[in-house]
Amino acid sequence: MVSSKVALITGITGQDAAYLAQFLLKKKYRVYGTFRRTSTPNFWRLSHLGIEDKVDFIPADLIDNPSLVDALKTSQADEVYHLAAQSYVGSSFDQPISSGEFTGLGVTRILESIRLINPKIKFYQASSSEIYGMTNGQQNEETAFRPRSPYAAAKLYGYWMTKMYREAYGMFATNGILFNHESPLRGLEFVTRKITNAVARIKLGLQPELKLGNLHAKRDWGFAEEYVEGMWRILQLKKPDDFVLSTDESHSVQEFVEEAFGCVNLKWKKFVKSEKKFYRMLEVDELMGDSSKARKQIKWKPKVKFKELVQIMVDADLDRWSRWQKGEKFPWDAPNYPNEEKTLFRIPK
């Protein structure tokens, strides 16, 4: 399929943005991506997918309106996928004000920029299942919201602002309420990647144990590479709307641990400790989506199941550390890998 469309992805250095850029490039889009200018650019995910040289980069910041206006003018985008945010729940308790600035008000800033520059641009807002908080049963587009973290509250603000701009100004503004979606490109601060990375290191004798928080929390886990197609499908509709994307089943952190250690034939109880200091300040016991609307209206359905997802992630981390033991370099050895993640990967001598 040949396309002359242009897409602007905010937060191009993240997991979802990398997979989305790859997907859109295959659709023959011209892809622009915004990033926060730092002394050490963070493009390792794009490099890993082999597409770093195929994306046009634009420095921009969610608290700097002129930079957002410039990004829109430079890209002349037909579609904007707003993925940039402070995306870690734990950090939002440590930095609630900046989380609100970036994750919440950042949405309004880019919506207002679009309204002023070109209100015909199609807009996708990356919402989150965390906005549901403590609710019973499966969550769909009609479920009440009860956020339990500064991150979730900021995401909910962005959700409502997107709806308001759609209804007040007639803009093509949409929300994708995505439940947890993981991959080998997930950051190490997220529990799934923390688990699979540790499993690989324990199997290879590089790490003695794994410390986690609440093993009983349940989440709806899917494969990130599949979820970005759902984002694109939402923007291909004739009328803007909001959609839940999920696998429609939940599994506990303990189940993820059991499955991950099982992938390398190890007994998880020998290596895993649950400590209160890793618990959330306000826990969300279970999140499980109901994506029937998306399955019907945009024809999106995830294919990768829970066990396959865990296997994919364990295999990837096992391969990384096996190659490291052989003296090969990884993306985090490159000059453009972020210093904070270098520290997370560092092995004590």
Catalytic residues: 128, 130, 151
Q: Are strands 243-245 and 173-178 parallel, antiparallel or unpaired?
A: parallel
Of 192, 304, 189, residue with least CA distance to 246: 304
Least Cα distance to 283 among 225, 336, 341, 214 occurs for: 214
Q: How far apart are CA 203 and CA 96, in angstroms?
A: 37
Question: Which amino acid belongs to residue 117?
Answer: I
CA atoms within 13 A on the CB side of 287: 27
Contact between residue 186 and residue 17 where contact means Cβ atoms under 8 Å apart: no
Could you give the angle at which helices 65-75 and 106-117 cross, rounded to 10 degrees? 50
Give the bridge partners for 31, in sequence order: 7
d(CA 78, CA 68) in angstroms, rounded, equals: 15
